[in-house]
């Protein structure tokens, strides 16, 4: 079905392997188009409860955007390329179903950005991270200036981007860029699947709300404080019939996210431009917490706890 991606769905875990090993899985137009399609599949396929993104071959997760496609681009074409990449990666970051990056070898440029757009990262000891765009007279364009800063802090992020140096797995772990280092390279996918299997047993609606609230805290697509310029047109309802692209802003807040329960900001906090509908993470947490009480899963979770049995969540 895909030409540049391999996919596998088993035990409700969808594994996506970027498959251009001879080019170190560099993200060319074909890969980016298919990544956009595969994200749609994650959103819309009810059998998928979580996903893994990884790279084919021994040498790389992804060694960046495909540099061979950069030559001759105009300023406008360059901006459009970044907008498209940011949009796809934003939809990964905004996915209501957890997406993990399983990283071996090089995760450079767009590869590091792809990994950072995922909800968390596991890597093998041979992983090497970096944003070397400055070597090409460029900057990261698929969200890297924002997400690297969110993950490792401003001082480290700027130094890594300005020096274009590679960050080894151990340092990446220490600075919070990856959650786990897997000692045995051939166990990387197994360990990632084990972690997702644990998560897949939890309540899906609560999972989606946690991701949403954490993304607000991280500043992903948060309006006045948004370092991205993106038109995020994707519904984020994992269990209500799947995601649909929409250009309607009626059901969205100022940041392109779907409004839930009216979406009004009860915090009284205003943005720097004096607006009153800043998507405040605390206010959204209050709403989302309340929404969880309206789910069957919450009733099941509490009942199971009190009955000293394991809960069985259905996503309702
Ligand atoms: N875009 C396009 N092609 C890429 C690529 C990229 N980002 N990264 C690697 N490749 C290709 C190489 O051109 C080479 O293709 P070829 O065999 O047809 O010549 C192949 O992948 C293998 O890479 P190679 O450079 O020969 O391997 P290496 O071990 O000598 O070096 C890297 C590995 C990762 C250090 C090096 O490939 C590199 O610096 N890549 C670019 C990283 C980058 O700047 N990424 C950000 C892009 S914005």
| pLDDT on residue 227 | 60
Domain residue spans of the chain: 5-199, 202-306
Atom of ligand 1 lying closest to residue 131 CA: 46
The answer to whether the beta carbons of residues 278 and 245 sit under 8 Å apart is no
For residues 11 and 146, give the distance between their C-alpha atoms in angstroms, rounded to a whole number.
33
Q: What is the pLDDT of residues 186-217, one digit of tens each?
A: 999 999 999 999 999 999 999 999 999 999 99
| pLDDT on residue 220 | 77
Q: What is the mean pLDDT of the chain?
A: 87
Q: How far is the CA of 21 from the centre of ligand 1 (A)?
A: 11
Instruction: Kindly state the tokens that stand for 233.
Output: 């047109």
Residue list, ligand 1 pocket, CB within 6 Å: 23-24, 26, 63-68, 106, 108-109, 132-133, 135-136
pLDDT at 252 over 80: no
The answer to whether the beta carbons of residues 98 and 211 sit under 8 Å apart is yes
| pLDDT on residue 228 | 65
Determine the residue of 63, 68, 103 to mutate for testing ligand 1's pocket, defined as the one with the most ligand atoms within 8 A of the Cβ atom: 63
Work out the average pLDDT over 279-306.
Answer: 95
Nearest CA to ligand 1 atom 4: 23
CA nearest 41: which of 53, 29, 30?
Answer: 53
Nearest CA to ligand 1 atom 47: 64
| pLDDT on residue 1 | 87
| pLDDT on residue 241 | 37
Strand partners, 8: 15
Nearest CA to ligand 1 atom 8: 63
Work out the average pLDDT over 23-49.
Answer: 98
Q: What is the pLDDT of residues 46-90, one digit of tens each?
A: 999 999 999 999 999 999 999 999 999 999 999 999 999 999 999
Q: How far is the CA of 289 from the centre of ligand 1 (A)?
A: 46
pLDDT at 249 over 60: no
For the chain, give the percent of residues with pLDDT over 90: 79
Domain 5-199, CATH: 3.90.226.10
pLDDT band at 218 (very low <50, low <70, confident <90, very high): very high
């Amino acid at each position: 079905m895909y030409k540049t991606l391999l996919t596998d769905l088993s035990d409700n875990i969808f594994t996506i392997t970027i498959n251009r090993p001879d080019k170190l899985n560099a993200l060319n137009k074909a890969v980016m188009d298919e990544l956009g399609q595969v994200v749609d599949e994650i959103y819309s396929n009810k059998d998928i409860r979580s996903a893994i993104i990884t790279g084919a071959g021994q040498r790389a997760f992804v060694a960046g955007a495909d540099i061979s496609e950069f030559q001759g681009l105009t300023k406008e074409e360059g901006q459009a390329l970044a907008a498209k990449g940011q949009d796809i990666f934003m939809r990964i970051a905004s996915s209501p179903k957890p997406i993990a990056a399983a990283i071996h070898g090089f995760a450079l440029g767009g590869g590091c950005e792809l990994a950072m757009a995922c909800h968390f990262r596991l890597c093998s000891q041979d992983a090497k991270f970096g944003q070397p765009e400055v070597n090409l007279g460029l900057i990261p364009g698929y969200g890297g200036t924002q997400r690297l800063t969110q993950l490792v802090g401003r001082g480290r992020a700027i130094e890594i981007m300005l020096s274009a140096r590679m960050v080894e797995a151990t340092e990446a772990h220490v600075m919070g860029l990856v959650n786990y280092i897997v000692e045995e390279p051939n166990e990387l996918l197994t360990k990632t699947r084990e972690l997702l299997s644990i998560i897949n047993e939890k309540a899906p609606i609560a999972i989606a709300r946690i991701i949403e609230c954490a993304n607000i805290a991280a500043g992903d697509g948060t309006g006045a404080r948004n370092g991205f310029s993106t038109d995020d047109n994707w519904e984020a309802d994992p269990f209500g019939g799947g995601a649909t692209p929409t250009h309607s802003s009626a059901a969205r807040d100022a940041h392109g996210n779907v409004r839930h329960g009216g979406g009004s900001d009860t915090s009284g906090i205003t943005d720097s431009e004096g607006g009153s509908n800043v998507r405040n993470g605390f206010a959204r947490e209050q709403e989302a917490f309340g929404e969880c009480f309206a789910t069957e899963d919450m009733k099941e979770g509490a009942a199971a706890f009190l009955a000293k049995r394991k809960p069985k969540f259905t996503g309702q």
